[in-house]
Amino acid sequence: MMYITSSHFTFRHVVESQRDLIHFWLQQDYIREWIHGKGLQNTLIGLEKFFQHQTQGQALDYKSKITHHWLGYDGDRPFVYLLTSNILKDADDEYAKYCETDGLAITLDIFIGDPEYVGKGLATVVIREFLLSQFSKVSEVFIDPEKTNARAVHVYQKAGFRIFDEFIAAWHPVPHYRMKLNMKDLVNS
């Protein structure tokens, strides 16, 4: 039985001992529908690079291109998997050309991993709490769902993201949306 302890969730970087949990979540049908093939492979490779980065004691900062892997918790129970990447405006970053401010910018991916938390209307709250608690100094946040993922697109719009472009993704050649959230809008909402 699921107990949501509060509407205030906590977020921490993933640690190696949580690898099996993330692999298990990524095999859930409702997640595999949207992340598979090259996209899944890239995520798993990125997770291992993240663990390697942690093991080497390197600082995680806004200048690193490494993808940050996070878990969101309801009390002590992990239930959501989030990924963030810094957009490096002085490098060859595909999102740099879409940035409208001089401030820091990131990309975001989110998966409700624990099946008992799916369909409970929590994703919008999780996104807002995650961004406000971990990325309040960021100016812009980008996300790129598949165009046919109406549920995700709706959640992201409800969280304040707006669609500004459509593209064919290299990791899965079907139409995707590029969506952006200006953090000042989230902070002021």
Note the pLDDT of residue 1.
42
Domains held by the chain: number = 1
Rounded to 5°, the CA angle 70-73-75 comes to: 155
What single DSSP character describes residue 1? Answer: -
Give me 97's structure tokens: 């050309």
Nearest Cα residue to 143 out of 84, 184, 96: 84
H or E element at residue 12 = strand 10-13
The pLDDT tens digits of the residues spanning 111-137 come to 999 999 999 989 999 999 999 999 988
68 occurs within a structural domain: yes
Surface-to-core class of residue 64, CB atoms within 10 Å of its CB (0-12 exposed, 13-18 middle, 19+ buried): middle
Structure-derived torsion over alpha carbons of residues 11, 127, 28, 5, reported in degrees to the nearest 10: 60
Q: What kind and span of H or E run contains 86?
A: strand 77-86
Segment 76-98, tens digit of pLDDT? 999 999 999 999 877 677 888 88
Domain extent at residue 62: 10-136
pLDDT score recorded for residue 57: 62
Contact 139, 109 (CB under 8 A): no
**What is the rounded average pLDDT for all residues in the chain?**
88
Q: Does residue 184 form part of some domain?
A: no
181 assigned to some structural domain: no
In a domain, 30, yes or no: yes
Residue at 157 is within a domain: no
Whether 4 is covered by a domain: the verdict is no
> Does residue 16 lie within any of the structural domains?
yes
Report the interhelical angle of 37-55 vs 19-26 (nearest 10°).
170
Q: What is the 3-state secondary structure (H, E, C) of 115-166?
A: HHHCCCCCHHHHHHHHHHHHCCCEEEEEECCECCCHHHHHHHHHHCCEEEEE
Q: What's the pTM?
A: 0.90
- Considering the domain boundaries, does residue 144 fall inside one? no
8: CB partners within 8 A, 6+ apart: 129
Check which CATH number belongs to the domain holding 66 and give it.
3.40.630.30
